[in-house]
Chains A and B, each alone.
Chain A
């Protein structure tokens, strides 16, 4: 552990913006002392609200998905800043949210945002604290149906990225040609009150939980502002939903009327048929997501190491590392690419996985590595359990089902 340093109190801040806006926002953020962020290409959702639109060629809007590790104290300031620069009060203009990270380890070369002197922690009223991020990773081509299901369940327009995923088949030798690593990642941020419904819709639409179908999970969002596109207008409508919302915003003078006030009613709510509380069986608190950020060219050995350490599945997204102008021009003109490796497993398995990744990174002397954990609130996936022989009670050779056991 000589190469790695530990930091506490960091959050991963994610920004989803239309592509046209991104450069300007990043410039402003860097101008105020940011230290670089990873930018992923992604696409937003396109809703066809009339059947004729399926005949017209339409393209989903291009978006950027930006991620940076930021000290907790800075998060509010940063969110406020992005909110102001990107005009996030307008509907359909994007989203920004932060997810707390645990046990951040980074090596010497990895740029971590340092605390700024003038950091202001004035929590503004715009920032919501009752949000949940839902992620879903499946094979290519299924994500559109899932995103539609999510929106029908009340989500904002999800943001999709292409990514690479490896699962059990990576260990099959030459037979791994049968697995296509092309996967798609869907990310959507919803109110806590909608989270269960949306999550269930996602799981049902993608049939997550069957073998080889992918994985869906929820991460608790600490703070965020979400104003993603939800409905596209039709030429025949006088105004789109977004224009109407904007108009009401202007009339009211703020956007608070949009807040849903939801009380957590707990058991009584469910008895009353409101179903607002989170369902019980859903908490997989012992599952953790391990995230590892490295330059792209160094990703492959780490992926191999993770698979050797028996990771149940890994998922890699490649993006470009974006940094301040001075820093960029000081370097050679080449783009710096980053890969983000995600894997989800039980906490004790994550420990071994992380140890394996760190070993590999130290062996190869990678200097720009960062690893952190995020607690997964809820998980849907096909998880092959490693059966221990003779641990289960048997009756005449057959395993006694667990619900029959005393």
Chain B
């Protein structure tokens, strides 16, 4: 008799009954995820179609991809609920009872490193640095290309140390404030120093983005569950902040780790020869890919023009040089150079181009997603089950549902990865590269023709791009699975008092504002340090006056927000805008700003709520 299961199979169900049970369950899960995702997809679609007036390329692939993302999220969230979260919580609750402090900390350290290596988002960062030239920022180029492994290991070590420290904090009952305030102050000091250094200043964007990216949908629920488990056992009478704080530390330490790694290579000076080598081969690489794709007539059309003497279709006449004069009420343009330019065909439809990207290579994408999912889930699951069986000598309770849950997580991760590649990334990339159309002339992504600036003054166009960035951030955040998991946890810990909806929307507001600021940073080519340091100084103040509980929620939600949905969308936009603004060398920094925003917004909400609670306390 298996006493671990709740109840034995008491009913014999036919196929029909099984379907009747499964259908409402699947429907509810689907609707849940749909409500999260539709907002961002519809927003992107409308912006492209209505504001920019551009058709959507590869619409069929994007629709299919979005559907796959929704199904993937559905499996993933259910998998978390049934598999990873119960495992993590059980281990967290058993560790303090059965294991030595050293073992617990060792476990936390390994978990941190393992979870980071499993996170898919780090690979994305390399894409953000793809436009970096070794000539301009050799140190950044070196870290991103020659020493990419060191970078990942540094981040992993950072997360490992952070998780260890976070668990130690629970065991010793330290306040999160006490840890955050000096850490952030130190980070700001280093940032201030780095900003004045000609090489290090290029690293700042990467470092702060690394912090934002590391804590993704696998790490967060695990680390939260572990923390909740530990806190349940060791926490005092007040456990309203139980389990939080690790995510925060896990997004601060990697910043430090990356900056230290940069300093190490700065000391070694191995970037100098790279810079020298790059100087030699300093060919005029066309950095602006978009403008090189501007439309032009080809030789066939030219020959046809020579033969017939007729203007080719979709062309316009531009007069260059010469001298326009007003003579007898007529404008006479003397001695002009007449240029024929090709224009985009006007018959723009809702969907242009192919329905499916011919280069999408579905088979390869699928294998990649399968490997990614296996790499993310299997080692972690094995590690946890082994810890439970070997170190703690306990059986896995509810083994069958946990197994189903792990299976769901795997399938969910796989579909999620695939869907993002098929749906959200193409949509985000085309929109991201089209956003600069608000302030400059570009060749739209995947569509022939050019698209001019929407406004006469680039300033307004850039503002519109920032507004778009806000909505993109808002919508993408609501769809993030890790934030969803955090919202559930916050709701349970506060016994339902702090609603998941309230948390998600305040976080989304902050992310939106942060991304808008990030767009401004790139569009106006502002130095990151000026956008980063004042908000963090404000944060230090807010953190100082806020209650411990809200400090925990808000800092954690900041680490959580930038996950697999936001990152590709935001990076695509950052790169798109960056490549159209002279002087911008990388698309970094938006993510860093996107994680300052939610801390401020949630802390502000917390202060508002505290006001209400204080009034209530006065009453009774």
Contacts and interface: CB of A to CB of B under 8 A. Distances in A.
Interface in B532-575: none
A1 B196 CA distance: 78
A233 B7 contact: no
B21 A178 contact: yes
Chain A contact residues (Cβ within 8 angstroms of B): what range?
Answer: 35 or more
Interface stretch (A17-25, A123-131, A251-259, A285-293): A17-25
B609 interface: yes
Interface in A21-60: 22-23, 39, 41-43, 56-60
A358 interface: no
B8 A171 contact: yes
Contacts of A178: 21-22, 24-25
Interface string A290-326: 0000000100110111011010000000001010000
Interface residues of B, number: 52
A134 to B, nearest CB: 19
B614 to A, nearest CB: 11
Interface in B266-319: none
Nearest to B498: A59
Contacts of B235: 335
Contacts of A233: 615, 619
Interface string B385-418: 0000000000001001100110000000000000
A58 B494 contact: no
Contacts of A169: 21
Contact of B497 (A43, A229, A240, A242): A43
Contacts of B496: 43, 60, 140, 143, 160, 162, 184
Contacts of B25: 177-178
A235 to B, nearest CB: 8
B608 interface: yes
B174 to A, nearest CB: 15
Interface string B235-273: 101111000000000000000000000000000000000
Contacts of B616: 61, 92, 229, 232
B8 to A, nearest CB: 6
B447 interface: no
Nearest to B620: A92
A338 to B, nearest CB: 12
Contact of A322 (B3, B234, B237, B405): B237
Contacts of A20: 617
A296 to B, nearest CB: 8
A175 B494 contact: no
A337 interface: yes
B6 A177 contact: no
A20 B240 CA distance: 12
B609 A170 contact: no
A401 interface: no
Nearest to A20: B617
A124 B401 CA distance: 53
Nearest to A311: B7
Interface stretch (B10-18, B115-123, B182-190, B425-433): B10-18
B142 interface: no
Interface string A223-245: 00000010011000000101100
A41 B497 CA distance: 11
A304 B4 contact: yes
B31 interface: no
B35 to A, nearest CB: 14
A152 interface: no
A397 interface: no
Contact of A62 (B81, B240, B401): B240
B237 A41 contact: no
Interface string B43-86: 00000000000000000000000000000000000100110000
B613 interface: yes
B234 A59 contact: no
Given A91-B620, A166-B6, A174-B404, A300 B397 contact: yes
B620 A300 contact: no
B617 A177 contact: no
Contacts of B13: 172, 175
A59 B612 contact: yes
A176 B6 contact: yes
A contact patch SS: mixed
Contact of A162 (B9, B492, B498, B612): B492
A310 B8 CA distance: 10
A18 B616 CA distance: 11
B619 A304 contact: no
Contact of A23 (B5, B24, B237, B239): B237
Given A178-B25, A308-B8, A320-B237, A59 B620 contact: no
Nearest to A363: B3
Contact of B4 (A143, A300, A307, A322): A300
Contact of B609 (A43, A57, A301): A57
B153 interface: no
A62 B494 contact: yes
B506 to A, nearest CB: 7
Contacts of B24: 178
B495 interface: yes
A177 B82 contact: yes
B96 interface: yes
B323 interface: no
Given A178-B21, A320-B237, A334 B608 contact: no
Contacts of A176: 6-7, 401
Interface in A114-173: 140, 143, 160-162, 166, 169-173
B7 A59 contact: no
A333 B96 CA distance: 10
Contacts of B239: 41, 320
Contacts of A322: 237
Contacts of B81: 180
A41 B397 contact: no
A233 B618 CA distance: 12
Contacts of B21: 169, 172, 175, 178
Contact of B234 (A19, A171, A300, A335): A335
B365 interface: no
Contacts of B10: 171, 310
B97 interface: yes
A173 B93 CA distance: 26
B107 to A, nearest CB: 17
Contacts of B106: none
B7 A308 contact: yes
A93 interface: yes
B529 interface: no
Contacts of B22: 175, 178
A62 B97 contact: no
Interface centre among B81, B237, B400, B492 (most CB of A within 10 A): B237
A59 B497 contact: yes
Contacts of A91: 620
Identify the interface centre among A19, A41, A61, A337: most chain B CB within 10 Å of its CB: A41
Given A18-B620, A161-B495, A301 B3 contact: yes
A162 B82 CA distance: 18
A19 B400 CA distance: 38
Contact of A304 (B5, B78, B233, B502): B5
Contact of A57 (B7, B8, B232, B605): B605
A207 interface: no
A347 interface: no
A334 B233 contact: yes
A175 B13 CA distance: 10
A284 interface: no
Given A23-B237, A57-B502, A175-B18, A304 B3 contact: yes
The 8 lowest CB-CB distance pairs between A and B, nearest first, are A307-B7, A171-B10, A178-B25, A173-B9, A170-B7, A60-B497, A171-B7, A92-B620
7 contacts: A174-B400, A175-B22, A177-B405, A300-B397, A301-B4, A305-B3, A335-B234
Given A18-B620, A62-B240, A162-B492, 7 more contacts: A19-B238, A92-B616, A161-B495, A162-B496, A177-B25, A242-B619, A304-B6
